[in-house]
Amino acid sequence: MTPVPVTAAEVEAARSVIAEHVVRTPVVPSPSLSHRCSAAVFLKLESLQPTGAFKLRGATNRLMALDEDERRRGVVTMSTGNHGRAVAYAAQRLSVPAVICMSRLVPANKVEAIRDLGADARIIGNSQDEAEVEAKRCVEEDGMVMVSPFDDPAVIAGQGTIGLELLEDLPDVDLVLVPLSGGGLIGGIALAVKARRPHARIVGVTMERGAAMYESLKAGHPVAVTEEASLADSLGGGIGLDNRCTFDLCRTLVDDVVLVSEREIAEAMRHTFWQDRLVAEGGAVVGQAALLTGKVTAAGHTVACILSGRNVDMPQFVEVVTGPGTGGSP
Ligand SMILES: *Cc1c(COP(=O)(O)O)cnc(C)c1O
């Protein structure tokens, strides 16, 4: 087995470091999904973080680890939105300057949210890779510290605190469905959960369009994928050809990766809205999509879906939940 680049002890340590800056989110039952799947299905509401997504955990843990010098020079990142927002929020709280580099694919609501948090939001190019070039320039020329959205032990440990909370609230959980992009979220959760429940299954779910980790695991090494617009825009972007942590973590700890289509993501957004009465972004409901389509069998299990964020462009959200196939009010 490949040695993992982050430990369960680092996840435990992150918990108290970030405690006063993040919300300890609730785990709520989903009666409709439980009924559909003949299982006990729960949702962990990371959408209730003050930035609307779980990424605040990892970003806060990383910024708390900066030394005096680094705090003065500031931090930089590139992001599809939620990570940039998290870094901006944590930076403002901790009085650290922040530059956020992002591509034109990022929805306007996310860009505005970052500017409102006082960060310097720079729009560069048509892909995360182009935004990365500017971020690297900030590191090399301006001496800023790069905060990766997923490929950093402190970020992964921060996201892993979700797993610790989950075990407290659902001690007999045996299947966790986690939205998957770069793999920081699932890597941290898998570390925390498997340390105490080695037989619990951790399944990553991502969109068919540009599934970087899925393709990389299949190839046996990190590969680049073409970025495409998706309802699950938070799951876009590559894993980095020079991936340090998350590829090995996923290869070692993730039991399976499942893909869902745009239509299936839309259906899960509608289900989450009309049945669970929750607003969630496309990338946050892929676990529910995997259950609704039967791509993951849950019968008889205690299942947790990580509802990872709510930062959807609201006109787009309204279009999806009132569109064809709408279940209507039960
Ligand atoms: C970033 C993000 C993910 C995926 O997290 P990774 O650590 O990149 O795998 C899932 N859902 C939302 C809402 C996100 O912002």
Q: How far is the CA of 287 from the centre of ligand 1 (A)?
A: 12
CB-based contacts of 211, cutoff 8 Å, min separation 6: 225, 257, 259
Q: Name, in order, each residue with C-beta under 8 angstroms of 26's C-beta and a sequence gap of 6 or more.
A: 44, 45, 48, 169
Centre of ligand 1 from the C-alpha of residue 234, in Å? 6
Mutation choice for ligand 1 from 46, 78, 82, CB with most ligand atoms inside 8 A:
82
Please write the tens of the pLDDT for every residue from 44-73. 999 999 999 999 999 999 999 999 999 999
Cα angle 285-90-102, degrees, rounded to a multiple of 5: 65
**Model confidence at 3, in pLDDT bands (50, 70, 90)?**
low
pLDDT confidence of residue 204: 98
Confidence check: pLDDT of 2 > 80: no
Average pLDDT over residues 252-265: 98
Q: Please return the burial class of 121, using the count of CB atoms within 10 Å of its CB with bins 0-12, 13-18 and 19+.
A: buried
* Beta-carbon-side half-sphere exposure of residue 308 (alpha carbons within 13 Å): 34
Kindly state the tokens that stand for 176. Answer: 């966790």
Q: What is the DSSP string of 217-229?
A: HHHTS--------
Instruction: Measure 179 CA to ligand 1 centroid, in angstroms.
Output: 6
pLDDT at 329: 45
Q: How far does the centroid of ligand 1 lie from the alpha carbon of residue 97, in Å?
A: 24
CB 235 within 8 A of CB 290: no
Ligand 1 pocket test target in 89, 177, 234 with most atoms within 8 Å of CB? 234
Burial class from Cβ neighbours inside 10 Å (0-12, 13-18, 19+) for residue 101 reads buried
Decide: 160 in ligand 1 pocket, CB within 6 A.
Answer: no
Q: What is the pLDDT of residue 326?
A: 60
pLDDT value for 80: 58
Q: Ligand 1 pocket: which of 47, 54, 147, 155 to mutate (most atoms <8 Å of CB)? A: 54
CA atoms within 13 A on the CB side of 145: 21
pLDDT digits (tens, 9 = 90+) for 104-160: 887 787 788 889 999 999 898 888 778 888 889 999 999 999 999 999 999 999 999
Closest by Cα among 106, 58, 101 to 81: 106
Is residue 30 within 8 Å of 43, Cβ to Cβ?
Answer: yes
CATH class of the domain at 55-146: alpha beta
**pLDDT tier at 274 (50, 70, 90 boundaries)?**
very high
| 55 among known catalytic residues | yes
CATH class of 8-53+152-321: alpha beta
Question: What H or E segment, with its residue span, contains residue 265?
Answer: helix 262-274
Nearest 5°: the CA angle 314, 317, 323 is 140
Residue of 30, 47, 55, 230 marked catalytic: 55
Cβ(185) – ligand 1 distance below 6 Å: yes
User: What pLDDT digit, counting tens, does each position of 224-239 carry?
Assistant: 998 888 999 999 889 9
The pLDDT > 90 percentage for the chain reads 82
CA 326, CA 46: separation in Å to the nearest integer? 25
Q: Fold identical between 8-53+152-321 and 55-146?
A: yes
Q: What is the DSSP letter of 2?
A: P
pTM (predicted TM-score): 0.94
Q: What residues does each domain of the chain span?
A: 8-53+152-321, 55-146
